[in-house]
C-alpha cells in the first residue's frame, strides 16, 4: 500500500548550542491536515507537544549526534539531518518515511542562508543578536512543515535588512506644517497640470 502523500515533510527545525546544550531556536510543526482515519498513528504527527518532551528529545539528539561522522541519522523513529556551524548544531527532523535527500537540501539551505545573512559568522552569540533574521529565514524556508524555498540566496534576499542609504534619504523630508503645505501645493499643481493636458 502506498504511503499517504503530503507536502508536510518537516517535523522540526532546531538550532542548539553545543557548549551548554541550550536551545537557541526551535520550531516544531504539526501536520496541518492529518488523514481522516486514525490521526494518532499518522507518521507526520509530532510526539513532542510539551516543552519538557521537546527538551528531552533535543538533549538525546545532541548526545547522539555529538560523536557522529555522517550528517543523517535515524533517532526516535525520525530522520534527523544535521550540520555543525561553530558552536551550534543545526537540525532538520522529518518522519521515518521522509526523503533524506530533500531534508538534506533543507539543512544546506538553512546553513547557507544563515552564512549569507550573518556574513559567515554563524555562532551562538551572533544568532542571538540577529534572532529576528534567523527566525525569518527559518519561516521563509519552511512554513507549517511544508518546504517553501531551498535557494539560500532567495531566502537571504527576502529576509535581509534594507540598505542604510535608504534610511538616510528620508532625513531630508520636511514634516513641519510648512513642509506639508508645500507638498500639498506641489501635488495640487501637478494634478491641475495633468487635468489640463488630458482635456
Which CATH architecture is the domain 12-159 placed in?
A: 2-Layer Sandwich (3.30)
Q: Which residue has the cell 481522516?
A: 36
Is pLDDT above 90 for 172? no
Q: Which of 29-33, 48-52, 81-85, 103-107 has the lowest mean pLDDT?
A: 29-33
Bridge partners (DSSP) of residue 81 are: 72, 92
Contacts of 145 by beta carbon, 8 Å cutoff, 6+ apart: 8, 9, 10, 11, 29, 30, 31, 32, 44
- Measure Cα distances from 95 to 17, 45, 111, 122 in Å: 23, 9, 21, 27
Q: What is the pLDDT of residue 107?
A: 93
The 10s digit of each residue's pLDDT in 122-168 is: 888 888 888 988 999 999 999 888 888 888 988 888 887 665 555 45
- Measure Cα distances from 5 to 34, 42, 44, 70, 95 in Å: 11, 12, 11, 28, 12
- The domain locations on the chain are 12-159, 164-198
Contacts of 11 by beta carbon, 8 Å cutoff, 6+ apart: 28, 29, 44, 46, 78, 93, 94, 95, 145
Q: What is the pLDDT of residue 1?
A: 42
Q: What is the pLDDT of residue 104?
A: 92
Alpha carbons 77 and 19: distance in angstroms, whole number: 26
Is pLDDT above 50 for 2? no
- Measure Cα distances from 29 to 5, 8, 13, 26, 147 in Å: 17, 9, 9, 10, 12
**171 φ/ψ angles, rounded to the nearest 5 degrees:** -70, -20
Q: Which residue has the higher pLDDT, 175 or 196?
A: 196
Is pLDDT above 80 for 24? yes
Q: What is the pLDDT of residue 38?
A: 54
Q: Which helix (H) or strand (E) holds 53?
A: helix 51-65
Q: Which of 32-36, 49-53, 139-143 has the lowest mean pLDDT?
A: 32-36
Residue 42 confidence class, pLDDT cut points 50, 70, 90: low
In contact, 114 and 88? CB cutoff 8 Å: no
Amino acid at each position: 500500500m502506498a504511503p499517504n502523500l503530503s507536502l508536510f515533510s518537516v517535523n522540526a527545525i532546531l538550532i542548539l548550542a553545543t557548549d551548554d546544550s541550550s536551545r537557541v531556536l526551535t520550531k516544531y510543526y504539526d501536520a496541518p491536515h492529518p488523514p481522516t482515519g486514525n490521526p494518532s498513528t499518522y507518521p507526520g504527527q509530532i510526539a513532542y507537544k510539551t516543552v519538557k518532551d521537546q527538551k528531552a528529545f533535543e538533549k538525546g539528539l545532541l548526545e547522539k549526534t555529538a560523536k557522529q561522522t555522517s550528517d543523517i541519522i535515524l533517532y526516535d523513529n525520525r530522520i534527523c539531518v544535521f550540520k555543525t556551524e561553530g558552536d551550534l548544531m543545526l537540525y532538520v527532523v522529518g518522519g521515518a518515511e521522509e526523503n533524506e535527500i530533500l531534508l538534506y537540501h533543507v539543512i544546506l539551505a538553512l546553513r547557507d542562508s544563515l552564512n549569507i545573512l550573518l556574513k559567515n559568522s554563524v555562532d551562538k552569540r551572533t544568532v542571538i543578536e540577529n534572532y529576528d533574521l534567523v527566525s525569518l529565514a527559518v519561516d521563509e524556508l519552511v512554513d507549517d512543515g511544508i518546504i517553501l524555498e531551498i535557494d539560500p540566496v532567495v531566502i537571504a534576499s527576502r529576509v535581509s535588512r534594507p540598505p542604510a542609504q535608504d534610511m538616510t534619504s528620508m532625513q531630508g523630508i520636511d514634516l513641519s506644517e510648512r513642509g506639508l503645505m508645500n507638498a500639498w501645493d506641489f501635488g495640487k499643481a501637478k494634478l491641475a497640470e495633468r487635468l489640463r493636458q488630458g482635456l
